[in-house]
């Protein structure tokens, strides 16, 4: 049993999870591609963690069509409270007698998603370049509430049973337990089937995930398959089969054995708004990862690492998101270093530091969202999303590692993940746990007490810059400085034998120079180095950023084209910002044209970026 949490530490939920905890969720849904809805019955098992004085259950909902509410077989008094932005409408269920401490109630609701649902994207056959429609959910951070009523907070964890009817194959964030033909047909060719899954490890609401479409599967390791469109399957299998099991075995050595039985990857259509999403059992990944050169599979090292940080051990609220992403970035880099050598850790950290600098510049260096621990009261966690939790979090953990020595830190890693497995924690729990682990080691205790914890947690802007081993990128810096002179004659050989990530460092360095290149220079760079035609989106999107900054109009149209083919926010948002500065009319036209292509989360954020409804324009 989870202990009493009082008062709630998550400000981004309207639920009263300090009175009740969801211990199990059973969803019985029908995926209706014609109506573009997910609907059916959801049953929550809610355990009282206070006494019978609590006379209501409050759940999160957002834009749901709610029909019936049944509590332990009876109809209670219930209402949807007025919408409270950005958190949705609380569902209030009145309890006449309250529920005794420790007792559970069964709450069954009939619910359906609506057009305003922010978690689901419905794709037409044309959008997936196939004969079938497609749908997928993206629930992190607070979008599960737009799929079904729940305690939408990472501070509550429960097991999940999925019973999903669909005319097309279904993927979920649980282990598959069966497929049953229902003997009726829906939407034409394919018969509706019932797909069942179970997730017996308690998970927070944001890890609820569904996808359905014409997907096929192929093995990529002894406990792993990749799922994607049948035409894309071979390429996806090739990209991932070499590294997946190797990654799993390596992270197992750093932490402890993998807990989720299977580690599978679903490669989504191009509008998937993230690089990857660590849905348990099935990582969701961007198709830009399938670049044909195995150069972008580090996304998998990252999402796999979330099987420990995030999925097993979760941040208690989005204010402590760095515990998810900083720890994951840390594990990801330890994993890469174990496999490819120590310099690769800093290679990746150097790219990360540039992303951190960009985020700090964009927000402003005294902005709340540049702190490690942020205040999200009244805020939408999507607005706070940036490289800060990843890179400031990584920098902090690396700093702690150096302070206590790597040898001792290596012992702490499994201790941390064992202590908090199946639980949620905040930054103060982490600090207390680390201090107590080393309590009997006087020298280390002293070092840890000397850490300026408050400053790490609450000082905005960049942290002190660590010294990086730049051996892999020195050539990239050298070449960039030649371009900085403005009088450089490039040759194809300049970048011969470079990995895509070395090119990324080169472009990042050029982009960071105070004085932009002139457009003749960027045109030469694009053609002589082949960046303008690169198939690697990490490369081509950065090249476009450099050229857009130089107001090189040769890239305006290709940028607009890329913006119609890729929906990953990491690429889309900076490109829209720069295209907007270079040619606002084209930026607006491109957005209007591709509005339906983007996932609702991405669409909302571009809208804020372009039309200034958000924090930054
Ligand atoms: N969990 C995140 C994605 C996310 C964060 C979704 C916040 C919704 C809200 C995922 O693990 C992630 O960090 N993805 C990265 C990939 C990476 C660092 C390799 C991304 O999408 O860029
Ligand atoms: Zn992540």
Residues of the chain with CATH 3.30.2010.30: 215-307
One CATH from 3.40.50.720, 1.10.150.20, 2.60.40.1730, 3.40.50.11540 for 1-211:
2.60.40.1730
Mutational pocket test of ligand 1: of 136, 285, 302, the residue with most ligand atoms within 8 Å of the beta carbon? 302
Q: How far is the CA of 132 from the centre of ligand 2 (A)?
A: 30
Q: What is the pLDDT of residue 129?
A: 81
Query: Which CATH class, in words, describes the domain spanning 313-458?
Result: mainly alpha
Residues of the chain with CATH 1.10.390.10: 313-458
Q: What is the pLDDT of residue 184?
A: 66
- 21 forms beta bridges with 47
Q: What is the pLDDT of residue 613?
A: 65
Atom of ligand 1 nearest to the CA of 298: 19
Q: Whose CA is nearest to atom 17 of ligand 1?
A: 299
Q: What are the backbone dihedrals phi and psi of residue 265, each rounded to the nearest 5 degrees, phi first? A: -130, 130
570 annotated among ligand-binding-site residues: yes
Determine the length of the chain: 617
**Average pLDDT in the 447-452 region?**
98
Atom of ligand 1 nearest to the CA of 274: 21
Task: Give the model confidence (pLDDT) of 119-171 as tens digits.
Answer: 999 999 988 888 999 999 999 999 999 999 999 999 999 999 999 999 999 99
Ligand 1 first shell, C-beta below 6 A = 140-141, 274-278, 299, 302-303, 306, 325, 385, 570
Residues of the chain with CATH 2.60.40.1730: 1-211
Q: How far is the CA of 5 from the centre of ligand 1 (A)?
A: 28
Q: How far is CA 446 from the centre of its chain?
A: 36
Q: How far is the CA of 276 from the centre of ligand 2 (A)?
A: 7
Task: Give the model confidence (pLDDT) of 567-617 as tens digits.
Answer: 999 999 999 999 999 999 999 999 999 999 999 999 999 999 999 864 333
**Catalytic annotation present for 303:** yes
Q: Whose CA is nearest to atom 2 of ligand 1?
A: 277
**Catalytic annotation present for 391:** no
**Active-site residue, selected from the candidate residues 239, 303, 332, 391:** 303
The structure tokens listed for 284 are 């969701």
Task: Give the model confidence (pLDDT) of 89-114 as tens digits.
Answer: 999 999 999 999 999 999 999 999 99
139 annotated among ligand-binding-site residues: yes
The verdict on pTM exceeding 0.85 is: yes
Mutational pocket test of ligand 1: of 204, 308, 325, the residue with most ligand atoms within 8 Å of the beta carbon? 325
What whole-number distance in Å separates Cα of residue 90 and Cα of residue 59?
Answer: 6
273 annotated among ligand-binding-site residues: yes
Q: Is the Cβ–Cβ distance between 299 and 316 less than 8 Å?
A: no
Task: Give the model confidence (pLDDT) of 161-217 as tens digits.
Answer: 999 999 999 999 999 999 999 876 555 445 899 999 999 999 999 999 999 999 999
User: ∠279-119-585 over CA atoms, to 5°?
Assistant: 120
Atom of ligand 1 nearest to the CA of 321: 7
150 annotated among ligand-binding-site residues: no
Q: How far is the CA of 280 from the centre of ligand 2 (A)?
A: 13
Topology of 474-611 in CATH?
A: 1.25.40
Task: Give the model confidence (pLDDT) of 421-442 as tens digits.
Answer: 999 999 999 999 999 999 999 9
**Active-site residue, selected from the candidate residues 17, 195, 308, 390:** 390
569 annotated among ligand-binding-site residues: yes
Q: What is the pLDDT of residue 617?
A: 30
The structure tokens listed for 283 are 């990582």
Burial of 467 (0-12, 13-18, 19+ CB in 10 A): exposed
Q: What share of the chain is helix, strand, coil (3-state, %, to 5)?
A: 40, 20, 35
pLDDT above 70 coverage of the chain, percent: 97
Atom of ligand 1 nearest to the CA of 568: 21
Q: What are the backbone dihedrals phi and psi of residue 131, each rounded to the nearest 5 degrees, phi first? A: -95, 5
C-alpha distances out from residue 316 to 231, 277, 356, 404, Å: 40, 18, 23, 26
Atom of ligand 1 nearest to the CA of 325: 13
Least trusted range by pLDDT, from 46-55, 242-251, 275-284, 451-460: 46-55
Is the pLDDT assigned to residue 418 strictly greater than 80? yes
Q: How far is the CA of 381 from the centre of ligand 1 (A)?
A: 13
Closest CA to 390 of 363, 414, 413, 372: 372
Burial of 615 (0-12, 13-18, 19+ CB in 10 A): middle
DSSP reduced 3-state for 27 = strand
Q: Whose CA is nearest to atom 16 of ligand 1?
A: 275
The string of DSSP letters for 60-119 reads EESSEEEEEEEETTB---EEEPPPBTTTBEEEEEE-SS---TT-EEEEEEEEEE-TT-SS
Q: What is the pLDDT of residue 128?
A: 87
CATH 1.10.10.10 assigned to 215-307: no
Q: How far is the CA of 459 from the centre of ligand 2 (A)?
A: 23
Task: Give the model confidence (pLDDT) of 526-560 as tens digits.
Answer: 999 999 999 999 999 999 999 999 999 999 999 99
What whole-number distance in Å separates Cα of residue 120 and Cα of residue 112?
Answer: 12
Q: Is the Cβ–Cβ distance between 148 and 155 less than 8 Å?
A: no
Q: What is the pLDDT of residue 190?
A: 56
DSSP reduced 3-state for 302 = helix
């Amino acid at each position: 049993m989870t202990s009493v949490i009082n008062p709630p530490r998550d400000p981004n939920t309207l639920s009263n999870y300090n009175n009740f905890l969801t211990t199990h969720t059973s969803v019985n849904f029908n995926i209706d591609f014609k109506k573009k809805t997910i609907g059916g019955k959801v049953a929550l098992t809610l355990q009282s963690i206070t006494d019978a004085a609590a006379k209501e259950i409050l759940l999160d909902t957002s834009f749901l069509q709610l029909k019936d509410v049944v509590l332990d077989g009876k109809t209670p008094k219930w209402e949807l409270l007025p919408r409270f932005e950005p958190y949705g409408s609380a569902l209030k269920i009145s309890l006449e007698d309250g529920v005794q401490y420790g007792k559970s109630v069964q709450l069954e609701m009939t619910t359906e998603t609506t057009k305003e649902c922010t978690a689901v994207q419905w794709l037409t056959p044309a959008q997936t370049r196939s004969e079938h429609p497609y749908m997928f959910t993206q629930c992190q951070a607070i979008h599960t509430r737009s799929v079904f009523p729940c305690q939408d907070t990472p501070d509550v964890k429960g097991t999940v049973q999925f019973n999903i009817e669909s005319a097309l194959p279904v993927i979920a964030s649980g282990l598959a337990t069966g497929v049953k033909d229902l003997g009726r047909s829906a939407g034409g060719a394919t018969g509706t089937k019932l797909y069942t899954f179970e997730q017996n490890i308690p998970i927070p609401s944001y890890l609820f995930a569904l996808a359905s479409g014409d997907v096929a599967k192929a093995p990529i390791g002894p406990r792993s398959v990749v799922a994607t469109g049948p035409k894309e399957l071979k390429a996806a299998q090739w990209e991932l089969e070499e590294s997946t099991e190797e990654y799993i075995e390596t992270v197992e050595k750093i932490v402890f054995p993998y807990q989720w039985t299977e580690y599978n990857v679903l490669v989504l259509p191009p509008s998937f708004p993230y690089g990857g999403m660590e849905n348990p059992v099935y990582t969701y990944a961007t198709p830009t990862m399938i670049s044909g050169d195995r150069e972008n599979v580090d996304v998998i090292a990252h999402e796999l690492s979330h099987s420990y940080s995030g999925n097993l051990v979760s941040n208690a609220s989005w204010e402590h998101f760095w515990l998810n992403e900083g720890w994951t970035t840390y594990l990801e880099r330890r994993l890469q270093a174990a496999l490819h050598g120590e310099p690769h850790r800093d290679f990746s950290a150097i790219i990360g530091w540039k992303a951190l600098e960009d985020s700090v510049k964009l927000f402003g260096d005294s902005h709340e969202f540049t702190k490690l621990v942020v205040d999200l009261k009244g805020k939408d966690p999507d607005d706070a999303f940036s490289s800060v939790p990843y890179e400031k979090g990584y920098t902090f953990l690396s700093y702690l590692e150096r302070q206590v020595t790597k040898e001792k830190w290596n012992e702490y890693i499994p201790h941390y993940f064992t202590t908090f497995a199946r639980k949620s924690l905040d930054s103060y729990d982490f600090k207390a746990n680390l201090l107590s682990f080393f309590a009997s080691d006087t020298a280390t205790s002293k070092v840890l007490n000397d850490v300026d914890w408050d400053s790490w947690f609450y000082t905005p802007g960049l942290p002190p810059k660590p010294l990086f081993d730049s051996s892999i990128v020195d050539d990239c810096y050298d070449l960039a400085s030649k371009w900085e002179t403005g009088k450089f004659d490039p040759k194809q050989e300049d970048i011969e034998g470079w990995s895509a990530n070395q090119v990324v460092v080169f472009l990042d360095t050029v982009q960071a120079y105070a004085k932009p290149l002139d457009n003749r220079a960027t045109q030469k760079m694009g053609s002589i180095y082949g960046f303008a035609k690169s198939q690697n989106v990490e490369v081509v999107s950065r090249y476009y950023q450099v050229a857009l900054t130089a107001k090189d109009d040769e890239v305006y149209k290709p940028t607009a084209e890329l913006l119609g083919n890729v929906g990953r926010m990491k690429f889309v948002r900076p490109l829209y910002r720069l295209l907007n500065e270079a040619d606002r009319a084209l930026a607006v036209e491109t957005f209007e044209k591709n509005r339906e292509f983007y996932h609702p989360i991405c669409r909302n954020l571009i809208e804020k970026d372009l039309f200034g409804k958000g924090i930054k324009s």
